[in-house]
Amino acid sequence: MQRAIAAAEHLVPCILARAEAVPGFAADGMLSAQEVFSQQLVTGLSNGMIIALIAIGYTMVYGIIELINFAHGDLCMLGAFFALTAAGALGMDAWSGAGGAAGLVALLVATACFCGALNWSINRLAYRPLRRASKLSLLVSAIGASFVLVNLGLFWGGLPMDAFAGGTSAAAPKSFPALVSALPAAQVGDVVFSRTDLLVLCVTVPLMAGLTVLVRFTRLGKAMRAVAQNPTAAALMGIDVERVIGATFAIGGALGGFATVVYSLCNQTISFQMGYRMGMDAFIAAVLGGIGNLPGAVLGGILIGVTRSMSDQYVEARWTNTVVFGILILILVFRPSGLLGARLREKV
């Protein structure tokens, strides 16, 4: 209930800020039904693209080694704490103009590198030694890694820095600086796009396009597809399987790093528990689209984002999770492999 209330409190001022720039916005703050629907659709698409970036990390790892990396959401949480630490230490909230834009790009890249390196390290230390063990052992290790990262986030939030309120309350939510304004920046018809919406678009779309090119046309991408199809045959053909798996973890973590900075800029609040919500939405998106399928993860993320936005507006915020899981159950009943997943026959 507290999460739903917090989400609603953040959503209301964002909608009103956009509404003021919409033609026909009444003095009493009322919007037409079409305008409300359009703005909720934009919000849902923006959130969905962020979820999709995180979901890609889930589906890449599963496609290679068939592991549900439950630590992925908490990895993104640590990325948000890293970004807040860097922004607070450098005083980036006071930067503006070209310097502010360059600082934002540097923050995105640095957080992506941090999350990529951390995800690679988790694979090297926790998952690689258990590669030949049962899948249950790997699953338990992923859950254990998640708890470790959550506690690291709790300790990190107690640092004696101004960005963490002096570390007086490690468990309390932290305010993320508004490096990008939520004011309207563009308008198409009756639909107003805020600067954060454009940021989401400018970050997520090129990353997804670049990942598509990497997987389909590069040597590493071909090696990833070979390992995903048959790791034993790939090793016999001279492919370094462990190196490919490590690169997959690094790329998935880097995408999560980009996503968590954009998420933090849009919501302007982070906490050591945010990884659960981010990871859950991304995992649902990956399963909904077809776990192991990259376009499916994107489709699932967009569907989850739009569903949440529309449910908050037209149903009620407290029922949003019920609506999302209800849709997931219905789709999996009729399409167990997900929307774009391939039906594979199990060999006994």
Per-residue pLDDT at 27 exceeds 70? no
The full set of domain ranges for the chain reads 2-334
pLDDT in tens, 212-257: 999 999 999 999 999 998 999 999 999 999 999 999 999 999 999 9
Q: What is the pLDDT of residue 22?
A: 44
pLDDT in tens, 63-72: 888 888 999 9
Q: What is the pLDDT of residue 96?
A: 79
Per-residue pLDDT at 344 exceeds 70? no
CA atoms within a 13 Å half-sphere pointing along the CA-CB vector of 331: 21
Q: 55 versus 16: which is more confidently predicted?
A: 55
Distance CA 134, CA 130 (A): 8
The partner residues of 270 in beta bridges, in order of sequence, read 174
Architecture of domain 2-334: Orthogonal Bundle (1.10)
pTM across the whole model? 0.86
Q: What is the pLDDT of residue 342?
A: 63
Q: 5 versus 184: which is more confidently predicted?
A: 184
As a whole number of Å, the end-to-end CA separation of the chain is 45
Distance CA 63, CA 74 (A): 20
Q: Which amino acid is at 175?
A: S
Tokens 């600086």 sit on residue? 177
Distance CA 336, CA 134 (A): 24
Mean local confidence (pLDDT), 155-165: 89
pLDDT confidence of 31, banded at 50, 70, 90?
A: low
CB 262 within 8 A of CB 207: no
Least confident of 94-98, 147-151, 269-273: 94-98
Least confident of 180-184, 192-196, 207-211, 333-337: 180-184
DSSP alpha helix (H) spans, the chain: 2-19, 33-65, 72-90, 97-122, 135-156, 195-217, 219-229, 231-236, 241-267, 274-289, 294-314, 320-334
With 0-12 / 13-18 / 19 or more C-beta atoms within 10 angstroms meaning exposed / middle / buried, residue 2 is: exposed
Distance CA 194, CA 185 (A): 5
Per-residue pLDDT at 152 exceeds 90? yes
